[in-house]
Structure 1
């Protein structure tokens, strides 16, 4: 028997690092979606203010398996 998955796009931001932004996004996705099985990080960008990095942002596609 096979399975069917769905993909949703989300954006997450952190003032710490790209890794933390990914963690924030996945943690939030798990609060709303069931059966999260993976993610593809499509884009990364930083926010700079006064010459310093102040935030890290990731755009990702989160995959979750649909229930029967």
Structure 2
């Protein structure tokens, strides 16, 4: 029998959505072990005055097994 826990976090990248997700997962994996998955809940962008995208932001939930 196992127990899973879910935490929520935000991460950003100037490169794109996938990089923002990977950055968040790499950072959280430094302190959270047994990560089994992630759900991207929300995607946002920061834009420059000309409408160009300057930063991608994601909010996601991380699922991990509790020892």
Question: Normalising to structure 1: TM-score of the pair?
Answer: 0.93
When the two structures are aligned, how many residues end up with a matched partner? 66
- Cα distance in 2 for partners of 1:52, 1:29 equals 29
Q: Gaps (5+ residues) in structure 2? A: none
Quote the RMSD (CA, aligned, Å).
0.6
Q: Which runs of 4+ in 1 moved over 3 A?
A: none
Q: Gaps (5+ residues) in structure 1? A: none
Instruction: Name the SS for the 2:29 alignment partner.
Output: helix
Which structure has greater helix proportion? 1
Question: Normalising to structure 2: TM-score of the pair?
Answer: 0.95
Alpha-carbon offset, residue 28 of structure 1: 0.7
Alpha-carbon offset, residue 32 of structure 1: 1.2
